[in-house]
A and B are shown apart, each in its own frame.
Chain A
Amino acid sequence: MIKLNINQKVHQIDADPEMPLLWAIRDLVGLTGTKFGCGVAQCGACVVHLNGEAVRSCVTKLKRAQGQQITTIEGLSENNDHPLQIAWNEVSVPQCGYCHSGQIMSAAVLLIEKPNPTDEDIDNAMAGNICRCGTYPRIRKAIHMAAEMQKKGGV
């Protein structure tokens, strides 16, 4: 049995330690907000936080993740009210929406480490996340907006 601590909840799962975290989260734990896009850490649709870092769960094996603190999009906030989630809604960022769990999880690490990101910081943090619908201009806008919200302490 492998112990996974996901969103502050412990899950005991019976799985091959070589299984990527992505499939354990989706198929065995049943949290489907984390997406499969490429399987080789190219697109970022599968980003979750592992001890606070934006890891690509499609290449992160259970043996690395077990016993660690894992946060998925479902656990980013209780009421969909993380500044990024609010900003994403304000700016109507998503189109198809499939990549945005990963986009938001990447941006969340950015905002912790750079609370007032410049455009260059956003490039540096977000270039690992592909959006086929091309919502990039709005992702940028929403990250700036979320940073503002954070600064004002309103959320």
Chain B
Amino acid sequence: MSSNEVSRRNFLRVAGLAGTALCLGFYFPSSAEEATIINTNGAADADIEMNPWIYIHTNGKVTLFNHRAEMGQGSYQSVPQIIAEELEVDLKDIIVASAQGNKKYGNQVTGGSSTIRSGYKNLLKLSATARVMLITVAATKWGVPAGDCYAESGHVIHKITNKKFHYGELVEEAAKLPAPKDVVLKKTSEYKLIRKPLKRLDTPMKTNGTAIFGLDKKLPGMLYAAVERNPRLRGTVKSFDDSAALKVPGVKRVFKVKMLVFKTYREGVAVVATSTWAALQGKKALKVEWDDTGFEHISTPVIYQRQQELLKSSEGLFLSKQGNPNETLGKSKDTLDVVYQTPYQSHSPMEPVNCVAHYQDDKLEIWGPIQAPDWVQDYISTEMKLPREKVIVNMTFLGGGFGRKAFMDYPHEASVISKEMGTPIQVIWTREDDATQGPYRPGISYRCQGAVTNGEITALKFRMCGQNNDHWRNGAKSNQANRSTSEGFLKPYYESIKDVSFAEVQFETPIPTMWWRSVYASTNGFAYESFLDELAVQAGKDPLDLRRQHLKDERSQKLIDKMEEVSGWKNRKKNEGYGVAITECFASTVGQIVKVSKDQNGKLKIDQVWAVMDCGWYVNPDIIKAQVEGSIVMALGAATIHEITFKDGLVEQRNFYDYKMPRITDIPPIEVHIMENTADAGGVGEPGLPAFTPALTNAIFDLTGTRIRKLPFDLKNI
């Protein structure tokens, strides 16, 4: 039952359990934070606003509908781990099914490192509620006080007599009870599963080929499609010659397609065939003439030249401002004024974008590696002019997402092609399509100004100039600063530095941009934390001491203690470069220390990375460590290799030969530590990324005196 596409109704029908399973779900009156727990058996069946979240079956097994995607971040393990804890069942008795896209699940967007932090309180409460209901039934059956009973490993046990009921024996009665309110949750110290490094439930199916990713989805009668899209996003198809493509054995049809990319349409020519190979061959054989008029064909040097011109002249729109940095900067003798530059980046998930769609009888069903099934449902129903309930969106496993797969262009494209063909269709994007079509992390220039007076930082003025993803996504107002202008920057700095401002100097191009793992923090962190390092040098302070001095809150102090302890910061030797950076995003703070040195040939090498994660309440320390390790590897590539460049509006990189990935040979030792506290849960999938690059470049400065202000830089040329 690991199938990802079990709809609730199908599930009940197949399992023959309707009415006998205990089904609990949430009702979201307004926001996900305020969920009410509902016994869906007692309520009107299939009420639109009700969602079944867990089913406890008469055999004692629990089916969990995971409302979020599994794209590597570990929801497949961490969500059941939460449920098993409060429900008191064995993890092996939990079956995870992917929920379909539906507003009744609340926000389903797997982004912003939110799977756990946005849902864990509800999930704990939901599971505890079920447990209490089962105990109530058992106690009633035995005629004993519920307080004399406890639950363990899928059973309710009477403490005094040791009598036992299997959950399966209780669900039918429990299903008739209303869900109790205000159940008592376990204390952290009582956890048996949460905070334990349990093995991931999805590993076995990822080691024997049984995990079904988007590309693995097959339907009877399914045809395969590849699309040659205008290599400039806003261009259209003028004409095409399909004569050679149609001669490829297996190619069935060739036609023009048009898909919405947020507010812009992208055009291409689809080749539909009986196998992926035939479709790809047909695509290669196409001759297409594009219409590329009406928009700018931009090149990379122009982008940065314009950004940096703008940063010279424009104050931009303030996102936040306290005190008067301009005045302080004007009065100070000791000031710094520098520009940092970061490149456009591709997400490049290992699984290229793909989607299966089946349009029939005014109903559309979609399967794919989808980060935001609820958005896809909305978007497709509007675009395909279907009522929302006629658009069924199924999430498969995602072979990586990193933000790319929260875009709705590819499900839309698959839907359009399926409707045209009247058959199930799988659209596959090649690696080249993935690299050249975007969307990308925007390339950004930062102007950073600071003042030091009597050895103390007295003013910080940051201006960011780069594309605002929100302009694509929802047409954010042009008179509002990018809400992420200060993302990554630690809030306690505002307390200790009087004059601080963050402003966005607006900048647009025709290039599509999108969230990329840790979003703006991934580049802000580099600029802001490197600049603080520059000011520390200017002020004659140890860079870690500078942070200790300014980040006065208790959590920051403890984090710094830990960083100092694990890295041996105070005992660092000559000929070793140490760099530190601390960033915050998605409610978690991560500090990193990187140690570098030069080998016998004078080549720079990264000796060690220490990362300390403070994400508050957490579920699985091993998954957190894995996420931070992976974030660091991704950041290493982003800092030292990756750059998407444009020439005359065309992307110059195509595949892993010119957009090279870090390989096993490139990876420094990484040590991850997790802070223990019970603050609200923060994100895990992304916050480990931003601090790495500034910690690395600060370490390089420490060793060599070379300050790196432009990414990517080549480690071999330091």
| Contact size range, A | 35 or more
Main secondary structure of the interface of A (DSSP, over half): loop
**Distance (whole angstroms) from the CB of B436 to the closest CB of chain A:** 14
B42 within 8 A of A: no
| Contact size range, B | 35 or more
Contacts of A24 in B (CB 8 A): 277
B160 within 8 A of A: no
Contacts of A98 in B (CB 8 A): 213, 349-351, 397, 399-400
How many Å lie between the Cα of A137 and that of B669 in the bound state? 8
Contacts of A40 in B (CB 8 A): 431, 655-657
For B664, give its contact among A30, A127, A133 (CB under 8 Å). A127
Main secondary structure of the interface of B (DSSP, over half): loop
How many Å lie between the Cα of A140 and that of B666 in the bound state? 12
**Contact status A96-B655, CB under 8 Å:** no
**Contact status B664-A122, CB under 8 Å:** yes
Given the interface contacts A88-B207, A129-B664, does A97 sit within 8 Å of B397 by beta carbon?
yes
**Contact status A42-B209, CB under 8 Å:** no
**Contact status A137-B670, CB under 8 Å:** yes
B200 within 8 A of A: yes
Among B203, B204, B348, B431, find the residue whose CB has the most chain A CB atoms closer than 10 A: B203
Name B47-78 residues within 8 Å CB distance of A.
Answer: 71-74
For B275, give its contact among A23, A32, A37, A88 (CB under 8 Å). A23
Name A1-60 residues within 8 Å CB distance of B.
Answer: 15-16, 19-20, 23-24, 26-28, 30-40, 42-43, 45
For B665, give its contact among A19, A93, A123 (CB under 8 Å). A123
Name B386-440 residues within 8 Å CB distance of A.
Answer: 397-402, 428, 430-431
Contacts of B203 in A (CB 8 A): 88-89, 92-94, 97
Q: Digit string of B656-689 for contact with A (CB within 8 Å is 1, else 0)?
A: 1100011111010110000000000000000000
How many Å lie between the Cα of A39 and that of B661 in the bound state? 15
**Contact status B400-A92, CB under 8 Å:** no
B365 within 8 A of A: no
**Contact status B657-A95, CB under 8 Å:** no
**Contact status B275-A28, CB under 8 Å:** yes
B86 within 8 A of A: no
For A132, give its contact among B213, B280, B661, B665 (CB under 8 Å). B661
A70 within 8 A of B: no
Contacts of A94 in B (CB 8 A): 72, 200, 202-203, 206-207
Name A72-116 residues within 8 Å CB distance of B.
Answer: 72-74, 76-77, 80, 84-85, 88-90, 92-101, 104
Given contacts A24-B277, A33-B208, 4 further A-B pairs with CB under 8 A are: A32-B215, A76-B208, A96-B72, A131-B664
Using CB atoms and an 8 Å cutoff, list the residues of chain A in contact with chain B. 15-16, 19-20, 23-24, 26-28, 30-40, 42-43, 45, 72-74, 76-77, 80, 84-85, 88-90, 92-101, 104, 122-123, 126-127, 129-140
